[in-house]
């Protein structure tokens, strides 16, 4: 456990704080909804889904976070402009304050989401996902025209996946980019960059992804996190091993949750932990690590924000 010499930024988005010294504010856990083949979705193109089931999933995450003291946000994934708009409409109807990520594998969908969030006046709690090395002109145009001021900035460098490579893509850029991703983000109006260290599979630089958490926070002072569960989900050995087991989840889930805890102990401020169905496992585990971080923060002279609402105040 440690304290960064570099000033650590804390960004408030939708009433949730992202960033700070380890233990200063609660870790933010972010579950994903409407992902590919999510069983509650009946028409991914139109954004038709089981609203009762979706609301229960969301309320389950809110409840466990309230009990444990960790913070949370939602990640909405859309396949088309129509679907992402429907998901945003549903979410802001059932929750009037929590921040949400707007995500898609299609740049047109992401661009449409940024403009739509601005149009309906929820841009202050919306987080774009993401500004990355493949960002297209239509996204830059949409972000610039929108009022979105928070975005995930993905430090994925396909040419150089090392820690230095991640910092280089953020500060200097790479092939096809007009500058570093942070410069591009700022140009688009992003005032609250949330750095995603781009977790990769074991054997492909997973160690560098973890080390980048500490290195980037120490170098830039911005909030840092990522989808660390991807390291476990893409583990070839585990994929094959669990197929041979009667209860595969018993073997896979500890690795899946564990990747987040390793990142958290290294200073990660937010955890994109994957399917929202896993909220209860992640929240309770993350609360445990948060308590350790909070204990050490106090010893290192870091003032905790709203200590009675943190895991250390609720669970000890």
Q: How confident is the model at residue 277 (pLDDT cuts 50, 70, 90)?
A: very high
pLDDT digits (tens, 9 = 90+) for 140-176: 999 999 999 999 999 999 999 999 999 999 999 987 7
pTM recorded for the entire structure:
0.96
Residue 122 resides in a domain: yes
CA dihedral 227, 229, 234, 240 (to 10 degrees): -170
Enumerate residues 6+ apart whose C-beta is below 8 A from 191: 149, 150
- Mean per-residue pLDDT, 31-56: 97
Determine the pLDDT at residue 177.
86
Q: Can you tell me the distance from the alpha carbon of 72 to that of 176, in angstroms, rounded to the nearest whole number?
A: 35
Is 174 a member of any domain?
yes
Residue 112 falls inside a structural domain: yes
Give the number of domains in the chain: 1
Say whether pLDDT at 1 is over 80: no
Q: Is residue 135 part of a domain?
A: yes
Query: What average pLDDT score do residues 30-46 get?
Result: 97
pLDDT of residue 175: 78
What is the per-residue pLDDT for 278? 96
Q: Look at residue 33 in the predicted model and tell me its pLDDT.
A: 98
Report pLDDT digits (tens) over 167-219.
999 999 987 788 999 999 999 999 999 999 999 999 899 999 999 999 999 99
Q: 66 falls in which pLDDT band (50, 70, 90)? A: very high
Residue 224 lies in a domain: yes
Domain contains 1:
no
The whole-number average pLDDT for the span 232-259 is: 93
Look at residue 3 and tell me if it is in a domain: no
Q: Which CATH number goes with the domain that contains 47?
A: 3.20.20.20
Q: Which residues touch 236 (CB under 8 Å, ≥6 apart)?
A: 201
Q: What is the pLDDT of residue 299?
A: 96
In a domain, 2, yes or no: no
SS3 content of the chain, % helix, strand, coil (to 5): 45, 15, 35
The pLDDT assigned to 293 comes to 98
Phi/psi class of residue 135: alpha, beta or left (left: φ > 0; alpha: ψ in -120 to 50)? beta
In tens, the pLDDT along 100-120 reads: 999 999 999 999 999 999 999
List the domain range (segments joined by +) for residue 72.
Answer: 10-315
For the ranges 186-195, 234-243, 300-309, the maximum mean pLDDT occurs at: 186-195
Q: How many CB atoms lie within 10 A of CB 22?
A: 28
């Amino acid at each position: 456990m440690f304290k960064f010499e570099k000033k650590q930024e804390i960004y408030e988005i939708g009433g949730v704080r992202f960033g700070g010294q380890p233990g200063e504010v609660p870790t933010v856990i972010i579950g994903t909804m409407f992902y590919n083949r999510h069983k509650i979705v009946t028409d991914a193109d139109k954004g038709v889904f089981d609203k009762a089931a979706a609301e229960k999933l969301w309320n389950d995450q809110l409840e466990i976070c309230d009990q444990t003291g960790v913070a949370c946000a939602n990640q909405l994934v859309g396949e088309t402009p129509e679907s992402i708009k429907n998901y945003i409409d549903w979410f802001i109807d059932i929750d009037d304050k929590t921040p949400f990520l707007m995500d898609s594998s299609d740049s047109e969908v992401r661009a449409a989401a940024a403009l739509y969030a601005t149009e309906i006046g929820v841009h202050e709690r919306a987080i774009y996902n993401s500004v990355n090395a493949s960002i297209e002109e239509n996204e830059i145009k949409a972000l610039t025209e929108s009022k979105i001021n928070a975005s995930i900035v993905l430090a994925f460098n396909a040419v150089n996946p090392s820690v230095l490579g991640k910092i280089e893509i953020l500060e200097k850029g790479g092939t096809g980019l007009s500058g570093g991703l942070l410069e591009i983000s700022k140009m688009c109006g992003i005032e609250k960059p949330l750095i995603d260290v781009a977790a990769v599979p074991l054997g492909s630089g997973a160690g560098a992804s973890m080390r980048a958490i500490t290195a980037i926070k120490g170098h830039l002072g911005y909030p840092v996190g990522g989808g660390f569960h991807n390291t476990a989900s893409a583990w070839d050995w585990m994929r094959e091993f669990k197929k041979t087991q009667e209860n595969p989840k018993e073997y896979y889930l500890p690795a899946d949750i564990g990747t987040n805890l390793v990142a958290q102990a290294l200073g990660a401020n937010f955890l994109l932990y994957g399917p929202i169905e896993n909220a209860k496992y992640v929240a309770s585990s993350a609360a445990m690590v948060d308590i350790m971080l909070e204990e050490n923060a106090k010893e290192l002279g870091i003032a905790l924000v709203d200590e009675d609402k943190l895991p250390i105040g609720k669970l000890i």
